Amino acid sequence: MNHNLYLQFQTHFDQQPDKVLMATTGGEAYTYANVQDTAMKMAGALRRLGVTQSDRVVVQVEKSAQALMLYLACLRAGAVYLPLNTAYTDNEVAYFMQDAEPHLVVCDPSRRKGHQALAEAHGVAHVETLDTRAGGSLMEKVAQEAPDQTIAKLEADDLAAILYTSGTTGRSKGAMLSHQNLAANSQALVDTWQFTQDDHLLHALPIFHTHGLFVACNIILTAGASMTLLPGFDAEALLSLMPKATVLMGVPTFYTRLLDQPGLDRTSTATMRLFISGSAPLLAETHRAFKARTGHTILERYGMTETNMNTSNPYDGERRPGTVGFALPGSEVRVVDRDSGAELPAGQNGLVEVRGPNVFQGYWRMPEKTREEFRSDGFFITGDLGMIDDEGYLHIVGRDKDLVISGGYNVYPKEIEQFIDELPGVNESAVIGLPHPDLGEGVAAAVVLNEDAKVTEDDIITALAPHLARYKQPRRVVFVDELPRNVMGKVQKNALREAYADLYRAGTAVPSE
Ligand code: MCA
Ligand code: AMP
C-alpha cells in the first residue's frame, strides 16, 4: 500500500477537475486540475534539481497559491517539506539550513542574495525563488516541465514535513511529521467538523505553521472543498468575503479584531456554518461576545506542532467557553501528576499527555530530546497544564513550559534572553508574556543592568532587531534591580508577570505600537 498523503486528495483531483480549489483576493482562481497540473510540473522540476525521496526542501516564501502547489509537489515527490516563517532573519535561517541539510531552498526573490550565501556556507545544492505573482526562478523551471505522473510510494512513517518549534533550551527542534500523521489528523478533523465538498474556507492564516498549512489546507483537500486565500488577516476583507463562505479558522486575535468591526453581526455571518479558534487560549469573554453579536458559537480546539490537533469541542454538542473539548477520534488525552506520572481523576490539574496516529515521529536528529518527551507507553508530554472536568471536557489551565504565545506565534524566552544577556551593560534578563489586548500575550523583558551601565529600553530593542523575527522582539523592556528568585535560585517569572500585568493593557502607553 502507498501511504503518500497525496492519495488522500487524489479522488477530488480526478472527480472534480473543473471546480475551483483556491481563489485569491487578487482575483485569480485555480481549479483542481490547474493545481494538480502545476504540482506535477513542480515535482518534475524538483526531480530535475536532484531532489529525491526524503530530501528536505526548505521553503521561506510569502503566501501564495503556488506555495501550496509546491507543498503538493513535495508530497508527490516524497520530499520533506520544511516551511519557515517569513519573519525569520537570515541569522535565524542559517540555523535551519545547517540543521536540516536541505537539498533545495526556495525563497522570495528579495531574499535570494542572503539565502544564496547561507546555502554556500552550509553546502545546500540549490536556491530557487518564488514570488506572490506566480513568478521567480522556480516558476521559470516549471514552465519548461511536462507533468510528472509519479506519486512516490511511501510507508506510513515516511516524513512529509519537518516543522521547527523552538525549545526551552533556546535551540529549535525539528518536529518530524509523517504522511500518516497528517493523513489521520485531517481525516479526523473532516469527520469531526463535518466538512463537505460544499464548504468554502476563508484562509487568512500564514501557511508555514500547522494551523494554516495542515489543519486548513489538508482539510480542504481531504474534503474536496474550496478556499479563498487572503495574504494575511484583514478584518474588513474577511467581512466582505463572508457571504460567499462557510468556515473561518483563526487564532483568538482574529476574533477579538473581528469584534472591533461594527459590520460583524448576524447578517454578515449568515452563510457561515463554523468559526474555529485555536493556537492560543480563547478568552471566554470573546467566545460570549461573538455569540451575542453573531449568534455563532466559536468552536475551540487544541493542538501542537508535534501532535497536530488533539482535542476539539463538539460540532453538535455543547461548545464550552474556556475548554478545548474532547480527544479527536483515534486520539487519547490524559492528565497526569507532574512528578509521579500517575493519571489524575477528573477535576485535578496536571500535565496534559496525548497519544495517537496524530503524534509526530520525534525531533529531527535529537533522539535524546525525543525520548525525554515521551512516556514509555507512547504518550507525548505536551508541556501544557490541564484538567479534565466531570463531563470529559479538557481545560488548558496553564503551561509547564516557559513559552509565550503572542498572536498565535510561539516565542521561547530562552532564545531572547540569550541575546539580551550578551549585550554590553546587561547583567541578566527574564523574558515574559504579559496580557495584551490584541495579541493575547505581549513579549516583554525584565533586565538587570551592570552597575553604572547606561543602557536604555530603546538600546535593547534596537540591538535585537537584526537578529530576531519581529514578533519575538520585546515591545517593552523594564529595568529591575534584581530578578525575583525562589530559594533554589530559580527566577520567579510569575512574580514578574504579576508586577507588570498592566504594561500592555488598554490605556497604558506602549511605544512602537
Ligand atoms: C505580527 N506582528 C506581531 C505578530 N504578528 N508581533 C507579535 N506577535 C504577533 N503574532 C508584528 C508585525 O511584524 C508588526 O511589527 C506589528 O506586529 C503589527 O503588525 P499587524 O499588522 O498588526 O499584524 P498582523 O500582520 O495583522 O498579524 C497579527 C496576526 C498574525 C494576524 C495575529 O500574527 C497571525 O496571523 N498570527 C497567526 C499565527 C499562527 O498561524 N499561529 C499558528 C501556529 P511592526 O509594527 O514593527 O512592523 S500553529 C500552532 O500554534 C498550533 C499547532 C495550533 O494549535 O494551531
Ligand atoms: P506550537 O508549538 O506552535 O504548535 O503551539 C502549541 C501550543 O499552543 C500548545 O502546546 C498550547 O500551549 C497552545 N495552544 C494551542 N491551542 C490552544 C488552545 N485552544 N488553548 C490554549 N492553548 C493552546
Tens-place pLDDT, residues 411-444: 999 999 999 999 999 999 999 999 999 999 999 9
Instruction: Tell me, in angstroms, the distance from the centre of ligand 2 to residue 420's CA.
Output: 26
* Amino acid identity at 99: D
Q: Using the predicted structure, report yes or no on whether residue 156 has a pLDDT greater than 60.
A: yes
pLDDT band at 489 (very low <50, low <70, confident <90, very high): confident
pLDDT of residue 508: 47
Tens-place pLDDT, residues 20-38: 999 999 999 999 999 999 9
Task: Give the Å distances, CA to CA, from 24 to 21, 85, 242.
Answer: 10, 20, 14
pLDDT of residue 510: 41
Q: Using the predicted structure, report yes or no on whether residue 169 has a pLDDT greater than 60.
A: yes
Q: Using the predicted structure, report yes or no on whether residue 145 has a pLDDT greater than 80.
A: yes
Asked whether 72 and 83 are in contact (CB, 8 A), the reply is: no
pLDDT of residue 281: 96
Tens-place pLDDT, residues 196-246: 999 999 999 999 999 999 999 999 999 999 999 999 999 999 999 999 999
Instruction: Tell me, in angstroms, the distance from the centre of ligand 1 to residue 408's CA.
Output: 7
Residue 78 or residue 510, greater confidence: 78
Q: Using the predicted structure, report yes or no on whether residue 409 has a pLDDT greater than 70.
A: yes
Instruction: Tell me, in angstroms, the distance from the centre of ligand 2 to residue 410's CA.
Output: 9
Tens-place pLDDT, residues 171-180: 799 999 999 9
φ, ψ for residue 129, nearest 5 deg: -120, 155
- Report the pLDDT averaged over residues 33-44: 98
> Which residues have C-beta within 8 Å of that of residue 463, sequence separation ≥ 6?
419, 423
Residue range 404-499, CATH number: 3.30.300.30
Ligand 2 pocket, mutate which of 164, 396, 400, 406 (most atoms under 8 A from CB): 396
pLDDT of residue 383: 95
Q: Which ligand is nearest to the CA of 172?
A: 2
Asked whether 256 and 233 are in contact (CB, 8 A), the reply is: no
Which of 496, 482, 348, 490 lies closest to 434 in space, CA to CA? 496
Ligand 1 close to Cβ of residue 96 (< 6 A): no
Ligand 1 close to Cβ of residue 256 (< 6 A): no
Helix (H, G, I), strand (E, B) or coil at 257: helix
pLDDT of residue 170: 66
Instruction: Tell me, in angstroms, the distance from the centre of ligand 1 to residue 389's CA.
Output: 32
pLDDT of residue 418: 93
Structure pTM? 0.95
Q: Using the predicted structure, report yes or no on whether residue 133 has a pLDDT greater than 60.
A: yes
Residue nearest to atom 23 of ligand 2 (CA): 280
Beta strands in 5-157 (DSSP E): 20-24, 29-31, 56-60, 80-83, 104-107, 126-129
pLDDT band at 136 (very low <50, low <70, confident <90, very high): very high
Q: Does the domain formed by 6-154 have CATH 3.40.50.620?
A: no
- Report the pLDDT averaged over residues 3-29: 98
Residue nearest to atom 10 of ligand 2 (CA): 304
Ligand 1 close to Cβ of residue 250 (< 6 A): no
Instruction: Tell me, in angstroms, the distance from the centre of ligand 2 to residue 328's CA.
Output: 16
Residue nearest to atom 44 of ligand 1 (CA): 470
Share of the chain above pLDDT 90, in %: 96
pLDDT of residue 500: 97
Task: Report which ligand 1 atom has the smallest distance to the Cα of 234.
Answer: 26
Tens-place pLDDT, residues 279-330: 999 999 999 999 999 999 999 999 999 999 999 999 999 999 999 999 999 9
| 3-state SS track over 288-320 | HHHHHHHCCCCEEEEEECCCEEEEECCCCCCCC
What are the extents of the domains in the chain? 6-154, 404-499
Instruction: Tell me, in angstroms, the distance from the centre of ligand 1 to residue 61's CA.
Output: 16
Which of 232, 245, 239, 249 lies closest to 63 in space, CA to CA? 232
